[in-house]
Amino acid sequence: MRLIVGYLATPSGKDGLVLGAQLARSLGAQLDICMVLPPDRTLPAKVPSEAGYDDILAARAHDWLAEAKASVPEDIQVEVHLSFHESFAQGLLDEVDRLSALAIVVGASGDGLLGRHAIGSVSTELLHSAHVPVALAPRGTRHSSATAIREVTCALGTRVGADVVLNTAVRTSELMQVPLRLVSLVALDPQNDLRDHRDTAESARERARNHAQDTLDIARAALPAEFPIEVIIADGSTVESAVRQLDWQDGDLVMAGSSRLAQPRKLFLGSTAAKMLRVLPVPMVVVPKHEFTQPEALS
């Protein structure tokens, strides 16, 4: 099992690297640190245009990768890779195919608040085109004291792909041997597939309770007896307020699904996941909308 970290020698790159190490340790996976450079770099005006500039840049990139590799704890198997592509995101996707990696890990863009997600151009492209799960590290993850994932939270609705997210969360928590927390978002989603136009606030919440219980039963049936698992019905006037009310701790990980607009086997960040990201203080994994083709977690 291999995980790719899209790396730059920046604070956000270090955020992604720390999350990648936590995931790799928890999953028993190899970490592949990948840096993508543009093939024909346009030189700044103050940089001499000399034939060896690209070689100098590549050499510096190898230094950055070596430093990144040295920062990864010794118990994690790690390799570094340098490639060239006009698009950093597409370069990472090409590396996924070349290395048969199961997920991509990236940090937030540099302009976000500490402990919050800020989606930059690379993350945006990945979240609308990737064919593997994408793990997003909020700004400041590099300061995390967690050495591994503590708990997996699965955010669930009733839209197409919810079963894939649940299956992914169940398999991941079992492989990591960490508790699973199921959070039902049905009551907060006015377009959920269980809603009836005659619903009152109480009947909608009753549907949410039934959905939560059904989800819990499915997860329990797939996990060993006595596996730590709980279900919570998200409560609040908005998705953002509900997420703020939940207890979050260092080392937690959230899994969410793609929008129903996603093409088969592709990601497309939905509105609910986007709302969660605005206030979520822990990493999120966005899962593509497709059925499993192999038993590994995060697949």
Evaluate if residue 84 carries a pLDDT over 60: yes
Summary mean pLDDT of the chain:
81
Highest average pLDDT, of 19-33, 39-53, 182-196, 197-211, comes from 19-33
Q: What percent of the chain is predicted at pLDDT more than 70?
A: 76
Q: C-alpha distances in angstroms, 101 versus 2, 3, 32, 133, 294?
A: 5, 5, 9, 10, 13
Q: Which residue has the higher pLDDT, 208 or 176?
A: 176
Tokens 């960490």, residue located: 178
Evaluate if residue 298 carries a pLDDT over 70: no
**Alpha carbons 91 and 132: distance in angstroms, whole number:** 14
Query: Taking the alpha carbons of 155, 159, 161, 162 in that order, is the dihedral positive or negative?
Result: positive
252-257 β-sheet, strand order: 78-84, 30-37, 2-6, 103-107, 134-137, 284-287, 252-257, 151-156, 180-184, 229-233
Tokens 């976000």, residue located: 112
Q: C-alpha distances in angstroms, 191 versus 74, 159, 185?
A: 47, 9, 11
pLDDT digits (tens, 9 = 90+) for 91-147: 999 999 999 999 999 997 654 444 455 667 788 888 888 889 999 999 899 999 999
- Model pLDDT, residue 292: 38
Evaluate if residue 296 carries a pLDDT over 60: no
- Do residues 282 and 155 lie in contact, with contact meaning Cβ atoms separated by under 8 Å? no
- Model pLDDT, residue 134: 93
- Contacting residues for 12 by C-beta, under 8 A, at least 6 apart: 106, 107, 108, 109, 110, 120, 137, 139
- Contacting residues for 251 by C-beta, under 8 A, at least 6 apart: 22, 144, 146, 148, 149, 150, 151
Give the residue from 89, 96, 101 showing the smallest Cα distance to 29: 101
Q: Which residue has the higher pLDDT, 277 or 53?
A: 277
Q: What percent of the chain is predicted at pLDDT more than 90?
A: 45
**Alpha carbons 231 and 207: distance in angstroms, whole number:** 14
- Do residues 4 and 104 lie in contact, with contact meaning Cβ atoms separated by under 8 Å? yes
DSSP state for residue 281 in the 8-state scheme: -
> Which parts of the chain fold into alpha helices (H)?
11-27, 53-71, 88-99, 121-127, 162-176, 201-222, 239-245, 271-279
Query: Taking the alpha carbons of 289, 294, 295, 296 in that order, is the dihedral positive or negative?
Result: negative
- Model pLDDT, residue 112: 46
Evaluate if residue 75 carries a pLDDT over 90: yes
